[in-house]
Structure formats: structure tokens, C-alpha cells
Chains A and B, each alone.
Chain A
């Protein structure tokens, strides 16, 4: 179980990664793997933690969740608002 500060950090890391690739959509597991591989979070988190972080970002309108027509696993991508917010935060 991660603490609130880590939750916030995970949200920012996930949004940052998705906003840097706004044309691409990611499944939850590959996204978690990428965040870990690139060491964008310096703490352990589970797929469930990432799902929660993405739910928050989705609620705030920074990330959209879509289900592929022929698949069953949802894809996540940054929305225009998410990209703008990430760029504003970066500057």
C-alpha cells in the first residue's frame, strides 16, 4: 500500500509519460512496466495502485480510457487537457 504522497507522485509520473506520447494509448500492465523500467517512480507500486492513479487522472479529465473494439483490456491515453496541464507543470 503506497502513501498519499506516493499516490500523487505516481499520478504525475503516469500523466507525464502519457502526455509525452499523446498519440499513443497504453494498456495498464505495459504502462506499469515502462514506469518501472524508466525508474520514473522510486518506490514499488502495484498495477492496482496504477489503476487507481489512472482513475483519478481520468476523473480530472487528463486521461481517457478506451476499450479496443476487438479486445477486452482498456487502453489509456492523455487527453488534450492532460497534455496542456503536463506542459504547464513542466515550465
Chain B
């Protein structure tokens, strides 16, 4: 777009009229058709020179502006398509926010999409590691609880069987090694579960 502000007859028309006029010129409208539009909106008709000047100047600027807008749309379309192809959704607010930030830079859209996908994967991976750590911590707690339960159960069993005559006889029996004593006590205490 030209850096200077245009001051011609068409340039001074309101934005929406200029948009309509430019779109019509792109669609091949003649000066008479353009004047009809102006008249229908309550503006004075322009002469052929005014329209020729606009076609050579302001209209060319407008075409460049359209190209720029089209490029912006295409860039964001590419980012969205690439993300969706990778299984990511632009509806995800985090992805959208990163996509916005990255796309406002001059980064190539394909690289931008790849960077966003990599970032999202890394974040998801980090989340998984945290979950795994939590699971490991819970498993450790479970093991600790089981160990304490085992110790208490052992003490309770000792108190229960300490005064049992059959158990004390097995424990005090001479000529039997410890392994055999354990086997006999096991059968006595746990019966068919042993």
C-alpha cells in the first residue's frame, strides 16, 4: 500500500463505498455502472478521468491490500491445517494462544505449526511424567502400608499362638530343624491355606 494518503475523488468516498467500488472494478464494472452505484448511495457521479486515475492508483493499492489480507488468511489456514493433520485442535485455547503469538511473528506457517505441535507434545509429555511420578509415590505409600500391616499381623499372630499348647510343643521340640518347625507351625496356623 502507498505510504501517502490519497486525496482523489474516489479516495475521499467512505470506506464501504470504496470497498464496493473496488470489488465492482475487480468484477469488470464499467464507469457507468460505478456511477450508478454512487448515485444510488447519494454521491455525485465522477468523470472518466477520475475513474481512470483511481484504477491506476487507489485501486492498485487496494489490490495489494487484498493480496496482503489473503496472505494472512492463507498463513493461518496453513497453521490450522498442519495442526489438525498432527492431531491438534485450534479449539484448544492453549494452542490457539500460542498459534496467535507465533503467527504474529514472521515465522513460516509450517514451521510455526510444527513448533506449536512440538510444544504441545512436550507439555503433554511433562504432564504424563508428573502423573507417573504421582503414581509411583502412591505405590510406595501402598507398599509401606502393607509392610506395617504385615508387622502388626505378625505380632497379633504371635500373641494368639504363644499360649497355644500345640504351637509351643512344636517350637520347643528337640531334634527338628527350624525349617521343619516353620512348616509344622504353618500347617497348624493356616491349615489348607499353607
Task: Give the residues in chain A near B93, CB-CB below 8 Å.
Answer: 85, 88-89
- Contact between chains at A56 and B16 (CB < 8 Å): no
Contact call A72/B73, Cβ cutoff below 8 A: no
B65 pairs with A61, CB closer than 8 A: no
* Contact pick for A73, options B19, B70, B100, CB 8 Å: B19
Provide the bound-state CA to CA distance between A58 and B79, in Å. 12
Q: How far is the CA of A51 from the CA of B62 in the complex (A)?
A: 12
Bound CA–CA A88/B14 (angstroms): 37
- A77 at the B interface (CB under 8 A): no
Residue pair A72, B91 in contact (C-beta under 8 Å): no
Separation in Å of the B113 CB from the closest CB of chain A? 12
The verdict on A24 contacting chain B, using a C-beta distance below 8 Å, is no
Cβ–Cβ contact B23 & A29, under 8 A: no
**What 0/1 pattern do residues 1 to 41 of B give for CB contact below 8 A with A?**
00000000000001110011001100100000000000000
Q: Mark B54-72, 1 if CB is under 8 A from A, else 0.
A: 0000000000010011101
Evaluate contact between B16 and A27: CB separation under 8 angstroms: yes
Known: A47-B15, A48-B65, A61-B80. A56 touches B73 (CB 8 A): yes
Residue ranges of B at the interface with A (Cβ–Cβ < 8 Å): 14-16, 19-20, 23-24, 27, 65, 68-70, 72-80, 90-91, 93, 96, 99-101, 103-104
Residues of A within 8 A of B (CB): 4, 7-8, 11, 27-30, 47-48, 51-52, 55-56, 58-61, 71-74, 81, 84-85, 88-89
